[in-house]
């Protein structure tokens, strides 16, 4: 039978190794979530909607029968 790893260790090192094996892991402290605002990712549809709403705020465009109509033309 071939020699094991522990056969090459001296008595003191074997004691330390056994102690490390028996010791349980320390519980890891749970990270707290900070209340900082997160970055919001806007989809293309939301971006288009915001542009549309910004455009509709101006006096040049209005809605007629569900369609967007340009009232005032640029000269």
Q: Would the pTM count as exceeding 0.85?
A: no
d(Cα 10, Cα 30) in Å, to the nearest integer? 39
pLDDT digits (tens, 9 = 90+) for 23-75: 777 788 887 777 777 788 889 999 998 888 887 777 777 777 878 777 776 54
pLDDT of residue 43: 93
pLDDT of residue 40: 85
* Sign of the torsion formed by the C-alpha atoms of 60, 63, 64 and 67: positive
């Amino acid at each position: 039978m071939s020699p094991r790893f522990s056969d090459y260790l001296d008595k003191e090192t074997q004691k330390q190794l056994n102690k490390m094996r028996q010791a349980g892991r320390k519980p890891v402290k749970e990270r707290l979530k900070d209340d900082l605002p997160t970055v919001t990712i806007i989809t293309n549809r939301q971006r288009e909607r915001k542009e549309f709403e910004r455009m509709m705020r101006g006096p040049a465009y209005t809605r007629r029968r569900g369609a967007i109509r340009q009232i005032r033309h640029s000269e």
